[in-house]
Structure 1
Amino acid sequence: MIVHRTGALAVLGRAALGPIAMAFALGVATTVAPASGDDGFAMRLLPAVLTSLIAVPVVVLLWRRRGGLRGLGLTADLRGLRGFLLGCVVTAGSAALVFGGGTAAGWLRWTDLDPGSLAVFLATNAIVAFLLEALPEELTLRGYAWCTLRSRFGRWAAAVGTTAIFLVVPAASALVAAGIAVLAGGSPGAIGWAPAGEDPVSYLILLTVFGIALIAARSATGSLWTSVATHLTFLTVQRIVLDGERRDAGWSAEMTTPDALLLVPAYLLLAAVVFLGVRRLARRGQVSRQAVSETV
């Protein structure tokens, strides 16, 4: 019995190493980048590059004896491409359906579309969001932490554990940034469960729903690229719909009622349901193929 508990604690400790690396990378990157004096795209790109340069090699090192990145579901093949495209299509399609319904109900009003500005935003945002959040967060969480927990506790417990860790990473990264600021002789920024100006409860609820959708995406294909694409598409949709005017995205929406905020978790839940449906269909296909092969 003692051996069993020790083994479980050891696995929990190993699973936390990836998210710790992510929190450290985010904390360092967001602290170092403002000191560079850069502006615009360069200022946003620098912390993104730093985050991936810190977090990704740590995961590669931690997982080197267990199959490398392929063992985490990150493959450079056709299967990975299909998984990535599925994540983009399901997430964007769910957002379009739900926000379309919200627009029809009068909850959203859209600005005029500027195709040139939107194209520039999509390109620059894709690079920054991929390197800062989508790739390193998925690799450390739905990749390393998920696989480590699943090897000991099973799929459902791994899903709960990974999602719980996901909620802690933003606060942990803020703590790292504050510590670095103090060591550098500056003043620490605000430390909390949510970014400045966000309601902590609402933010944690949204993050939980987002985490569930990402786990569903990861499980749908077995490819980490599916959750990377889901993460990237979510960030893109959010920054256009809710923050497009400030970011000069070339298109944005105005909420005519506070209830419109519910559209965000609604489309994430819809995407999660679709991903679970994809997973079920894939499993049925595998069972059917096995049955056919056994009868031949």
Structure 2
Amino acid sequence: MDSSKFRFSRLLCYFVLVSLFLFVSGNLGQYLIENQGANRQIAMLLQGVIFTGATLFVLFILNKRNPGIIRNIGLKGSNSSAKRIVGISLPFILLVSGVLTAYVAGGIENVSLHVTPSVIIAILINTLTAFMYEAFPEEIFIRGLIVDELQKKYRFIISLFLQPFIFICVPITVMSLESIFFSKPFALTIDYFILLFAFGIALQLYRKYTGTLWMSIIFHIVYLEVARYISMGGVYDPDVAILTFDEMFAGFMSLYLSFLFIVVLSIVVLSVLLIIDKRKN
């Protein structure tokens, strides 16, 4: 089969695999935590090992059949070192700007920074887990394999808006399976859909501008750590939040910092940079 031509069957296969891997690894970890009394961090690390291991196995098989696929999905090469620097620095610039403007505007007050060994260790452990269980395998499949397949048939702008819908369908599929097999409640809100859609666009723009999937992976991790240890004040453990504050209203920083600054402004800035690049060329 010609790998240079679009195949819906390949697209469907990638979607089924990422959904299945997420379903199996996630529920195995939950089972160990809830029924075997496993340490949460160890269980989540095991989830990551399973998800990343399965992803690497798929990549190995695909690379044997098509040796160019690693470069095609953006794991090798990049547009330029300057663009990589911009891509890496942008989310951190937006993070600092978001916190400062929120404080100046009165959105948060009584702000305290907690850079202690326990906080740093917690963030480092979660960063490793986030890389293995979320950022790396999801980006390989969604912004890597699936987008590469979409771009064999569609122009960039079309695939840019198609892939977030596929991204959203992954948790929907996983939750549907959990509802069928484990009778877990199916709960997805409209704001979650909006976040995933915008997040998916931002992730793809980071890859497009820098020319490397690694930037999408890095941005994915940065977003998760900001949400967990700053915007949401330590979602797993309030004692290990790197920044604590009183909000104007509950969820203000999740909306203002994580969504508006980290995600939406990333889309705006990267879109402008890509338009400038296009006009230069």
Which string of whole-angstrom CA distances, capped at 9 and with x for unpartnered residues, describes residues 152-184 of structure 1? Answer: 1111111111111011111112233445xx3xx
Matching residue of 1:170: 171
- 1:33 and 1:46 in contact (8 A); partners too: yes
Describe how 1:88-99 pairs up with structure 2 within 5 A. Answer: 88-99=88-99
Matching residue of 1:106: 106
Is 1:34–2:27 an aligned residue pair?
Answer: no
- 1:56 and 1:139 in contact (8 A); partners too: no
- 1:214 and 1:227 in contact (8 A); partners too: yes
- Pick which of 86-95 and 129-138 moved more: 86-95
Matching residue of 2:43: 43
Counterparts of 1:255 and 1:21 in 2: how far apart (Å)? 40
Match of 2:230 among 241, 251, 263: 241
Describe how 1:157-196 pairs up with structure 2 within 5 A. Answer: 157-179=158-180, 182=181, 187-192=182-187, 194=188
Matching residue of 1:255: 247
Is 1:215–2:218 an aligned residue pair?
Answer: no
Provide closer, same or farther for how the CA distance between residues 215 and 284 of structure 1 changes in structure 2, counting only shifts above 3 A.
same
Is 1:269–2:264 an aligned residue pair?
Answer: yes
- 2:78 and 2:212 in contact (8 A); partners too: no
**TM-fit CA distance, 1:112:** 4.1
SS at match of 2:206: helix
Provide closer, same or farther for how the CA distance between residues 284 and 269 of structure 1 changes in structure 2, counting only shifts above 3 A.
same
Counterparts of 1:79 and 1:250 in 2: how far apart (Å)? 36
SS at match of 2:151: helix
- 1:33 and 1:43 in contact (8 A); partners too: yes
What TM-score do the two structures reach when normalised by structure 2? Answer: 0.83
Counterparts of 1:171 and 1:128 in 2: how far apart (Å)? 22
**TM-fit CA distance, 1:35:** 3.0
- Pick which of 93-102 and 159-168 moved more: 93-102
How many residues end up aligned between the 2 structures? 266
What TM-score do the two structures reach when normalised by structure 1? Answer: 0.79
Counterparts of 2:168 and 2:224 in 1: how far apart (Å)? 16
- 1:18 and 1:58 in contact (8 A); partners too: no
Counterparts of 1:236 and 1:115 in 2: how far apart (Å)? 16
- Percent identity, aligned pairs only? 22
- 1:73 and 1:224 in contact (8 A); partners too: yes
Counterparts of 2:178 and 2:240 in 1: how far apart (Å)? 28
**RMSD value over aligned CA atoms?**
2.7
Counterparts of 2:106 and 2:71 in 1: how far apart (Å)? 46
